[in-house]
Amino acid sequence: MATVLFIDDHKCGSRRVVQKLRAAGHDVCIALDAEEAIQLFRLHPVEAVILDCGLCRPSHLDPVPVFRRLRSDVPMIMISSYCGVGCEHMPEADVCMQADESEAILLNTLEAMLCARRYDLIRSAAA
């Protein structure tokens, strides 16, 4: 399927989501902070990013502008306890989801975004 970069500083909360992503056939790179996320993004053929919006606080290194500068076409899903509140880079994300939404909704959203990206890549290659 796809290589997904999952960034969350809460190991316990992310375990179930990572298990669901892997069960769906995705390779998952896990980062606990922005520095690690940027390294993994550069080292792996990441096709989508799922990140905790809390990592984009002013007191932290913000990985979103780095991701967009390196590869602006990679779909990005931000997860927030309060969707849109405190997410300075909400316009740069493709989707913002509330943390309490089900893993099934997250997986469906991810799959739709990956399909759209593949379609765009095929269309641009044919042009």
How many structural domains comprise the chain? Answer: 1
Contact (CB, 8 A) for 65 and 92: yes
Residue bearing tokens 């300075």: 88
- Rounded Cα–Cα distance for residues 5 and 40 (Å): 8
Residue 95: band (very low, low, confident or very high) from pLDDT cuts 50, 70, 90: confident
Q: Where residue 51 sits, what CATH number does that domain have?
A: 3.40.50.2300
Lowest mean pLDDT among 22-26, 28-32, 116-120: 116-120
Residue 30: band (very low, low, confident or very high) from pLDDT cuts 50, 70, 90: very high
What range defines the domain where residue 24 resides? 3-126
pTM for the model stands at: 0.85
Mean pLDDT across the stretch 55-76?
80
- Rounded Cα–Cα distance for residues 28 and 122 (Å): 24
Q: What phi and psi, each to the nearest 5 degrees, are found at residue 85?
A: -85, 120
- Rounded Cα–Cα distance for residues 49 and 80 (Å): 14
Residues of the chain above pLDDT 70, percent: 83
Contact (CB, 8 A) for 73 and 117: yes
